[in-house]
Structures are given as C-alpha cells and as structure tokens.
C-alpha cells in the first residue's frame, strides 16, 4: 500500500495512505517499524510515536499481503529538558505557569521541552524559536480560570520614532483589538514543533470566558493557541478542548502545518471555531478531527483596516483527510476577508452533521481587495449536512450588518469597498441526509460571482417527514428552504456537469440573473 510522509519529527513520524477514499479506509492496514508491527489503523493519516532523535528507521505499510516501505531519519535533538526539573508540580492545582515558562525560555536551540504525565495548571505560555514542545500521553495543560492572571496583548503598537509604523500584537474578529494572551502564544517565532499525545484544555467551562461574551472585560477573550507573525510551525497529534474562543488562530503567519490533531469544544460554546487562519500563506491541516460550537475551519484575512493598511491575503491552503463534525460550517471562507482568500484545496474529507459544508460569506464594506478566488473542494463525503454549500454576499455581521447598505438586494454602485468572488469548483461530492438545500448562492447584483462549477455530485435528501425549513444564508429578507435542490442568483457563469439529485421537492434549479449557464447532465429522481 503506497503512502507518503507528512512530517518527520524528533520522536515521531506521520504518514498518509495514498488512496481515493476520504478520511479512512474500509480495510485496516498495519504499520511496521524496522520489521516490527507497531499499530493497525484504518485512517488515511496516522502517527507513529516512540522513536529516538537522530535515528534511521525503516517504516512499512502492509495491507492484504502487499507491503510498501521507505527509510527515514528522525530530527536531531540537542537537549531534553523535563518541566518537573524546573519545579513544575503537575497536580492540577498548583499554578505551574512560571516553571513551565522558565523551561521554554531557557531551552537551547534544537532542544526539547518535555511535558511528562501530569496536569499542569497554567496561564499563558510564550514560545521561542527553534525548540520542540513534547507532550506525553496524559500530559495536560489546564487553563487558569482567573482572567486577571492573563497578560493583555495590545491590539496595535506603534514605533516611537515613526508613528506611522505599527504592529498588530493581537486581534479580535478581524480588527487589531486588545486581547488576552492565549495558553500557547507565539509572536514572531519560527521553527517550532509541538508534538505528542497530550492535551491542552482551555478550561472555559470552569471560568467566565463563555459568560456575557459580547462584552469586553479588560480585553477580548484569548484563543487556546495564537501564532502571530510566525513561520515554520508544526503541531502534531495534540488534542485541544474547551477553548475560551477560537481554538487555534494563526495570524499573519506562513508555512504552518497542523497534523493528526483532535479539537473538541461543546456544541453550545460561543465562537469556538476550530481553526481560524487569518492572513496566512502556505498552511496545511492534514488528518485532523474537529467538533466545535462554531465553524470547524474558517479562512479569513481581516476587516477593512487590516485588509488595506496591512494587506495580506490568505493563500495556498490545503485541508485534506480531515473529519469535520457538528460545526456551523465545515470549511468557511469569511466573513472577515478584506485581504482576500485564494488557492484553497479541500480534499478527501468527511463532513458529518455540520449545518453547512462549504460556507462562503462576505458583505459590502469588505473592500476591493476582498477577493475570494480559486476555491476547490474535491472528493468529499458529506453526511447529514443540512446545506452542503452556500455563498452569501449579504452576511449580516458587524454593527452595521442590518443596514440598507449591506442588505439592499438592489444594484448599488461598485466602489472601493465592494468585495468580489471569483471561481468556486465543487467536484466529486457525495451528500446524504440533506435538509434545506443542496446549494444556495446569492452574490451581489453589482458584483456577480464569476464562476460556480458543479461536477460529479450525488445528493440525496432526508425523507420529507424529517425535514425542517431553515434559512440557508444569514441575510435579511430571505426565505426558509426545505428540500430545495439549487438556488443561484447573480452569477456570471454556472457550469453543471453530472449532478444527480434524489428526493428534492423541486425538479429544476432556481436560477436568477445567471449570464451564462452550461448544463451537461443534471438529473432529478
């Protein structure tokens, strides 16, 4: 069975099975290291632990008598530091923040900070470059519940010798606003690996992070992991739960990899997105499981100030072999996208029980650089996803979200605050248990979406008695849908090829103001 190497670390390796089935296989395979079986799995992405640094190994994958193998060498390690040697107690009660920070701060380049089994009660910890954090199984960082113990990161700082020079230290929902530091905070660091089977628990249910969430109290809520202006960061196998707000937030960062992770937040927890990549380039989320109280993965690039003054679009993003469950959207683009989002590839994933599958949301006011383009979703299974794909350019967020400027469905002049949507390619999708609508697209009349391409889609709806009417997009003066196939409005070009729809209440798509329509195989049953 063919496989590729996703990442080699000091004490572990992650591999990815090459096959066409999303997320996992029907038949298990065995992983062997130096000829000895070490694990059996059905997952397309799996990790082998227990390796030694700077050591050559042979790894093989065997299934049904067929074996593929390769040789690799783990990364070198200069020093190994045990956090308990710094006085960390790990009893879940003693505040270990200072001891853990001392271990991180003093770790030499190329060294590893080792979190052995224990519950380390801690406030925010700040990363440094060129180190590894290694978590044993049953090693837990448990978040301090007292917000007064959390440093405040200024939203924006200015240079004393050049007042026009500024740096966004923190962010809240697309704006440079004061926010509490996160449990793991990296600012301007590079070459960091965070590995192991440990857990970072934000401990939000036992604090006041989820209480009165729209009121700023000293500063806005922390994330669990915040990476600001970082590069070459890899997080492998870690579990994260109970985040105060967004769980993992890379911000103006490049070359970031999240591999074989687990992220869980309760379904009623506010604003607890799984991953929010904001103005990031070359980012991968591979083999990861996410179940949260908001969007599983959200791709962003700030609101109008950051998108113009500190322009950087999110681009070159890969999401592959992930299981995304129970969020508002499995993969969302927006709505804070003033810098644009481009070249996104969502492949071989399983979406399970989310409200929406692919969710694109923007609005007037995001700006002329707010261009969403080249979004590809390919070979994805969607189970019990109520609305598999939606595009909404009237999203009613922000204080002015319900004003006529944002919500007017009539033609408005194109200006420097008008966003745009380029090409969306939706291919090789299998949807079962649809409730409201297979696809709903409502672009701006003054700025139609350039291309919506639907190809090789098989969609089936819930039985009629199980359906509930729901509004597929968050905008004013739009209607609920139930059992509807396709609704598209204000699109330059629509391409439909080999789309099979079973169980909808209509027998043709609802197409309004579509300039160019090409249909080659659209079947209703």
Same-domain pairing of 245 and 116: yes
Residues 246 and 316 in one domain: no
Based on the fold, state whether residues 114 and 171 are members of the same structural domain. yes
Q: Do both 336 and 483 map to the same domain?
A: yes
The one-character DSSP state at 464 is: G
Report yes or no: 366 and 400 within 8 Å, Cβ to Cβ.
Answer: no
Residue written as tokens 């969306």? Answer: 424
**DSSP H or E stretch at residue 13:** strand 13-17
Regions of the chain short of the pLDDT cut 50: none
Strand partners, 166: 158
Q: Per the domain annotation, does 269 fall within a domain?
A: no
Q: What is the CATH number of the domain that holds 321?
A: 2.160.20.10
Q: Kind of pairing, strands 275-278 and 297-300?
A: parallel
Closest CA to 48 of 21, 72, 25, 24: 72
- For residues 448 and 494, the answer to whether their CB atoms sit within 8 Å is no
Hey, which residues does 143 pair with through a beta bridge?
A: 122
Domain ends where: 73, 89, 115? Answer: 73
pTM above 0.95, yes or no: yes
Q: Is residue 328 part of a domain?
A: yes
Q: 58 and 104: one domain?
A: no
Pick the closest to residue 77 from 46, 51, 45, 43 (CA basis): 51
- If asked whether residues 332 and 204 sit together in one domain, one would say no
End-to-end Cα, the chain, rounded Å = 38
| pLDDT in the model for residue 164 | 82
Instruction: Answer whether residue 101 is part of any domain.
Output: yes
* 498, 447: one domain: yes
Q: Are 69 and 150 in a shared domain?
A: no
Q: 3-class SS at 466? A: helix
Is 83 in a helix, a strand, or coil?
Answer: helix
Give a yes or no: residue 31 inside a domain.
yes
As a dihedral over the C-alpha atoms of residue 373, residue 379, residue 384, residue 389, rounded to 10 degrees, the angle is 20
Q: In terms of domains, do 180 and 59 share one?
A: no
In a domain, 268, yes or no: no
Domain co-membership, 235 together with 183? yes
Residues 318 and 448 in one domain: yes
Q: Is position 479 within any domain?
A: yes
* pLDDT for the residue 163: 72
Position 255 in a domain: no
Phi, psi at 204, each rounded to 5° = -60, -35
Quick one: 142 exposed, middle or buried, by C-beta within 10 A (0-12, 13-18, 19+)?
buried
> Residue 49: its pLDDT value, please?
98
User: Residue 148: what pLDDT?
Assistant: 98
Give the model confidence (pLDDT) of 503-518 as tens digits.
999 999 999 999 999 9
Sheet strands (E) in 147-264: 152-153, 157-158, 166-167, 179-180, 184-187, 190-196, 199-201, 225-228, 231-236, 239-241, 248-251, 254-259, 262-264
pLDDT on residue 480: 98
The predicted structure's pLDDT at residue 199: 99
| Cα radius of gyration rounded to whole Å, the chain | 23
3-state SS record for 351-414? EECCCEEEEEECCCCCCCCCEEEEEEEEEEEEECCCEEEEEECCCCCCCCCCCHHHHCCCCCCC
The residue among 1, 5, 46 whose CA lies nearest residue 23 is 46
CATH number at residue 16: 2.60.40.10
For residue 327, the model assigns a pLDDT of 86
Same domain, 349 and 468: yes
The dihedrals phi and psi of 6, each to the nearest 5 degrees, come to -85, -40
As annotated, the active-site residues are: 294, 328
218, 245 in Cβ contact below 8 A? no
d(CA 359, CA 390): 5
One DSSP character per residue, 95-154 reads E-HHHHHHHHHHPPTTEEEEE-SEEEEE--EE--SSEEEEE-TTEEEEE-S-GGGSPEEP
Peptide bond into 335 cis (omega under 30): yes
Structural domain tally of the chain?
A: 3
439 belongs to a structural domain? yes
State which residues form the domain around 367. 295-525
- Predicted pLDDT at 383: 98
């Amino acid at each position: 069975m063919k496989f590729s190497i996703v990442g080699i670390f000091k004490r572990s390796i992650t591999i990815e099975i090459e096959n066409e089935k999303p997320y996992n296989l029907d038949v298990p395979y065995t992983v062997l290291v130096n000829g000895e079986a070490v694990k059996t799995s059905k997952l397309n992405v799996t990790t082998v632990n227990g390796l030694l640094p700077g050591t050559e190994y042979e790894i093989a994958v065997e299934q049904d008598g067929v074996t593929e193998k390769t040789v690799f060498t783990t990364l070198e390690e200069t020093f190994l530091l045990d956090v308990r040697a710094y006085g960390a107690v790990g009893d879940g009660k003693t505040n270990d923040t200072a001891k853990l920070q001392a271990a991180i701060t003093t770790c030499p380049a190329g060294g590893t900070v080792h979190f052995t089994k224990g519950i380390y009660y801690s406030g925010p910890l700040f990363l440094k470059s060129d180190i590894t954090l290694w978590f044993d199984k049953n090693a837990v960082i448990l978040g301090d519940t007292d917000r007064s113990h959390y440093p405040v990161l200024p939203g924006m700082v200015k240079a004393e010798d050049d007042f026009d020079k500024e740096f966004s230290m923190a962010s809240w929902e697309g704006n440079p606003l004061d926010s509490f530091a996160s449990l793991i905070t990296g600012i301007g660091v590079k070459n960091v690996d965070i590995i192991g089977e440990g857990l970072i628990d934000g401990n939000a249910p036992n604090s006041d992070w989820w209480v009165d969430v729209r009121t700023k109290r000293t500063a806005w809520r922390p994330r669990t992991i915040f990476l600001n202006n970082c590069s070459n960061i890899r997080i492998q196998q870690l579990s994260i739960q109970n985040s105060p707000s967004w769980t993992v937030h890379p911000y103006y960062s490049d070359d970031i990899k999240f591999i074989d992770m687990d992220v869980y937040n309760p379904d009623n927890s506010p604003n607890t997105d799984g991953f929010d990549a904001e103005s990031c380039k070359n980012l991968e989320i591979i083999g990861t499981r996410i179940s949260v109280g908001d969007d599983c993965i959200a791709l962003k690039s700030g609101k109008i100030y950051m998108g113009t003054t500190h322009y950087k679009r999110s681009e070159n993003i890969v999401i592959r072999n992930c299981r995304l469950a129970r969020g508002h959207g499995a993969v969302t683009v927006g709505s804070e996208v003033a810098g644009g989002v481009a070249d996104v590839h969502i492949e071989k994933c399983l979406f399970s029980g989310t409200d929406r599958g692919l969710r694109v949301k923007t609005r007037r006011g995001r700006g002329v650089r707010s261009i969403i383009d080249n979004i590809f979703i390919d070979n994805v299974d969607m189970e019990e996803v109520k609305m598999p794909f939606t595009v909404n350019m009237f999203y009613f967020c922000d204080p002015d979200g319900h004003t006529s400027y944002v919500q007017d469905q009539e033609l408005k002049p194109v200006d420097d605050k008008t966003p745009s949507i380029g090409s969306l390619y939706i291919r090789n999708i299998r949807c079962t248990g649809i409730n409201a609508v297979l696809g709903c697209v409502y672009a701006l009349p003054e700025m139609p979406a350039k291309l919506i391409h639907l190809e090789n889609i098989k969609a089936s709806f819930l039985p009629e008695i199980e359906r509930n009417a729901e509004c597929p997009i968050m905008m004013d003066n739009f209607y609920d849908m139930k059992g509807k196939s396709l609704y598209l409005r204000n699109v330059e070009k629509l391409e439909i090829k080999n789309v099979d729809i079973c169980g909808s209440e209509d027998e043709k798509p609802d197409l309004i103001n579509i300039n160019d329509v090409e249909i080659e195989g659209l079947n209703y049953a």
